[in-house]
Amino acid sequence: MRLISRYVAGTVELPLLPEEAMTLGPRLAVVETPETLIFMNASGPLMSCARDDAATKRFIGAVVMTQAGQG
């Protein structure tokens, strides 16, 4: 796993997320594996769920939407 830095909104973030992580919001990213989704922030993994776990994905979507509204 290689760590990379990211450029977000005029700042350069430290390389704290794995290269394969996809940023969902300013404080949340996800790493996809064939079986699971691993949600993480700069501190590390927060939670994971099965790729077909619709309830958890809806919950994370609500969290992302809430963060987006807080600017």
3-state secondary structure the chain: CCEEEEEECCEEEEEEEECCCEEEECCEEEEECCCEEEEEECCEEEEEEECCCHHHHHHHHHHHHHHHHCC
Report the predicted TM-score, pTM, of the whole model to 2 decimal places.
Answer: 0.66
Is 51's pLDDT higher than 60?
yes
pLDDT in tens, 18-31: 889 998 877 788 99
Q: What is the pLDDT of residue 47?
A: 87
Residues with Cβ within 8 Å of 59's Cβ and at least 6 positions away in sequence, in order, are none
